[in-house]
A and B are shown apart, each in its own frame.
Chain A
Amino acid sequence: MTDALVLLIVLPIAAAILPVFLGILSDRAGWYVALAMSLAHLGLSAIVANAVDTSGRISYAVGGFQPPFGIELVADGISAPLLVLISISTLGVVVYARRAGPHSNAFYSELALLTAGISGVVATADVFNLYVFLEITGLATYALVASGRSPRAAVASLKYLFVGTIGASLYLLGTGYLYIATGTLNMASLSEAIVATPAGYASPTVLTGFGLMATGLLVKVAIFPLHTWQPGAYAESPDTVSAYISALVSTAAAYGLFRVTYTVFTRDFLEAVPIAADAFVLLGSVSIVAGSVLAVMQSDLKRMLAYSSVSQFGLVVTALGIGNKTALIGAVVHLIGHAVMKGGLFLALGVFAASVGARTMDEFKGLAAREPVTSAAFAVLAFSMVGIPPAIGFIGKWNIVVGAVEAGSWSVALVVVVSTLLTLAYFGRVIERMYFTHPDETDVADASVSADGGQPASDVSFGMRTVVVVAAVTAVLLGIAGSDLIDIIRPALEVYFV
């Protein structure tokens, strides 16, 4: 049944072609194709997850060309939950897009292509193949961001195109260095071949390769000084797109960074070259603080959530730098948790914008009375992001803090705790306005005008609210089932600690 692993990538590519054909017949065919694709994708990822659960790591040689020469796909306890996450997020976003749009066939083609790219990044075990899938992910995302109606969306997309291409090129250059040094591109055989090079980890070629690959991936993850593309891309694209790319695109890149650091270069490399781990911790910590501070300063809610992602991914990169088992478990759990929470938060903002036209901090006054269910879901997701138990945000952050303490880096533990307070600061501000501030007279008048005129409340379907509520419930349930999730992840991490 390992064919399911390759079908996870082929199926969305095939689904991306179909709307191009069907577009000749019908304008709405894309949605049905995307729905069928996401349901089939969910089935396939469930098969893969089940296979991993029963027999551990599974590997697939594409075209029957055996690794290390052929392209290898791999699923293990870390990638399998991420594949399921991708399927569920895709399904949720497609259901949400039924009413919320965009409705064009091109949008669904791009969405399917993005699904293929992200699935590929997570499934591949080949560094060059990883580059190809990063580029597919990137190109699909540029097109999706540009599908926003405002001219600013086009500018944001162009900026993302430039910065993202530079990031991918740096990664490709690093891959080239490694290939020159070792003559292989397969991740598992690279880890042995790097040690076998004459100078080992001290080889300047290998060090340059690491530096370039890590920097390229950090651009894609959007860590503080390299994050400049990210707020625009998240804030200017349509709400459906913001939710999908905030949930998965940086997550896939962060997973790629994890794979490159721990499968290709291994912990021995991090011990031999302590500056690499220190750089991760430093960049991550700066990103945590800077992202949170920038988030507190925003009045546009989408921009606030975007900067919040900069901060949360700083947490993940810091955990990669700390590098003990607890911290890495925390990093993977937080990747999954962040995707659920941030995707859900963006979808909730979409509901608010469509039903009452609220997009900025001031327009959120008294929102809970007008949009009670979605507000409650938003609050649950926000508190989960802050890290309040029993939600998933707590499990991730807690493991990272404990990992930092185990490693003796008290300063990092302090930064994480401070970041939690800052997260509370920017989400607290929103929730205080939603629940405890009465709307001004003029605001109510404005809202009723806009509700009667431009954007009637019927713009929000039952499906859209349901998806938001499901995201909130999932965040809590994942937190309650956190130890089971850790049990799935742990065996795959043990491999790096022998």
Chain B
Amino acid sequence: MSSLDFSPRAYVESTIIMTTVRVVSPFVFTFGLFVMFHGAESAGGGFQGGAIVASSIIMLAFAFGIEPTREWLDDDFVRVVIGGGASTFALIGLGALAFGGPFLNYSAYGISHGVKYGIELVELGIGAIVAGVIVSLFMNLAAGFSDEETEGDEA
């Protein structure tokens, strides 16, 4: 990782920013989830919610330094979040086939309010993809470019 040699000058520790971010980011994260859950019946959805969740993590990275954040939230974890989100979407769609309905037919599951829960789960999946991709793009850009082959470009 070539980023070690430039992170000291890129990061300035500030008590005000760290305190503010520590207070604000849990709320931002929760608000992101709130927006995601509103995909089914009111304004909201996975794209907006995912962007908000990602912003809370990027905020942490700005406040506490990019390298510590990367250690806390390693690449494989982000990768699993992205893959997990996409798999959730695909599995919900394919599950409907298993229950004998057409692809992505939520009512095939036979659960009460199945359509609502189905859409909410899909929105959560989309949110995970969006948040994961934004965070990994940010981390990749922050890491800069090295001459060696860069691993893990799942954009």
Contact = CB atoms under 8 A, between A and B. Distances in A.
A3 B83 contact: no
Contact of A61 (B86, B87, B102, B107): B102
A62 B106 CA distance: 11
A62 B152 contact: no
Contacts of B121: none
B153 A64 contact: no
Interface in A3-30: 3, 6-7, 10, 13-14, 16-17, 20-21, 23-24
A63 B102 contact: yes
Contact of A17 (B86, B106, B107): B86
Interface in B77-97: 79-80, 82-83, 86-87, 90, 93-94, 96-97
Given A20-B154, A106-B153, A62 B87 contact: no
Contacts of A16: 86
B108 interface: yes
Contacts of A143: 155
Given A62-B104, A63-B103, A13 B90 contact: yes
Nearest to B103: A6
Given A23-B79, A106-B153, A14 B90 contact: yes
Contacts of A3: 97, 102-103
Nearest to A21: B83
B102 A62 contact: yes
B80 A21 contact: yes
Interface of chain A: mostly helix, strand, loop or mixed: helix
A64 B101 contact: yes
The listed residue with most A CB atoms (<10 A of its CB), out of B87, B96, B108, is B87
Interface string B20-39: 00000000000000000000
26 contacts: A3-B102, A10-B90, A10-B93, A13-B86, A14-B94, A17-B87, A17-B90, A20-B79, A20-B83, A21-B83, A24-B79, A24-B80, A60-B102, A61-B102, A62-B102, A62-B103, A62-B104, A63-B102, A63-B103, A63-B104, A64-B101, A64-B105, A64-B107, A106-B152, A106-B153, A143-B155
Interface of B: 76, 79-80, 82-83, 86-87, 90, 93-94, 96-97, 101-108, 152-155
Given A10-B103, A17-B90, A64-B108, 13 more contacts: A10-B90, A14-B87, A21-B80, A23-B152, A24-B76, A24-B79, A24-B80, A60-B103, A63-B104, A64-B101, A64-B107, A106-B153, A106-B154
